[in-house]
Amino acid sequence: MIQRQQSREAPQFHDMAWPFLSGLGFELVKDPGLILNSYLLTAATYRTKRGFFLTVGFDPADSNTAAISCGRQWQGKRGGFVLSNRYAALARRMGIEAPEYYELGYGDEIPRTMERILGDLKQTLPRLLKRVTREDLLAIERENGGALSHAAAHEPLEDYEISEYQTN
């Protein structure tokens, strides 16, 4: 993990989203200001008491996008982690539309993109949290781009510790 400098995207998003996310029972579990790779990737990661993780990641240098991932956490022995799949995959399973990625833009466009992400979460996340089951998370983990294929490409699957999710 690259820690020489702080980045502003994930901390700025956290400041905007925290009142809403904390109201849904999320806690912040990773410092959103840490730069995670040489492409200036930052992420705000949250978890509910039931074990539902939500990460909003920002990649301003390489793809100029933001993406939301969710579900159970697959923690590798080497320190990296991946969540079940993109938020859009779980939303689709629930019959809810959500973007796969958000184009960040530049300058003043970035806060507007963050507002759009937060607006989408406000419209969809409460409904999704009420309906999601462990079986839903297992299903999206096996889909294209899910945790199973991603994890297997980076470390032996037995080297991952997978968090538990408790349905209501």
| Residues 11-46: tens digit of each pLDDT | 999 999 999 999 999 999 988 988 887 768 899 999
Domain hosting 46: range is 9-162
Q: Is residue 123 part of a domain?
A: yes
Q: Is residue 13 part of a domain?
A: yes
Q: Is residue 168 part of a domain?
A: no
Q: Is residue 157 part of a domain?
A: yes
Mean pLDDT score across all residues of the chain: 91
Q: Is residue 82 part of a domain?
A: yes
Say if residues 53 and 90 touch (Cβ distance below 8 Å). Answer: no
Q: Is residue 3 part of a domain?
A: no
- Percent of all residues in the chain with a pLDDT value above 90, rounded to a whole number: 73
Does the pLDDT value for residue 136 go beyond 60? Answer: yes
What is the rounded CA–CA span in Å between residue 115 and residue 5? 25
pLDDT for 129 = 97
Q: Is residue 167 part of a domain?
A: no
Does the pLDDT value for residue 5 go beyond 50? Answer: no
Per-residue pLDDT tens for 101-120?
999 999 899 999 999 999 99
- Percent of all residues in the chain with a pLDDT value above 70, rounded to a whole number: 95
**Count of domains in the chain?**
1
The reported pTM is 0.92
Q: Is residue 59 part of a domain?
A: yes
Say if residues 43 and 56 touch (Cβ distance below 8 Å). Answer: yes
What confidence tier does 168 reach under pLDDT thresholds 50, 70, 90?
low
HEC states along 67-79? EEEEEEEEEECCC
What is the rounded CA–CA span in Å between residue 138 and residue 124? 20
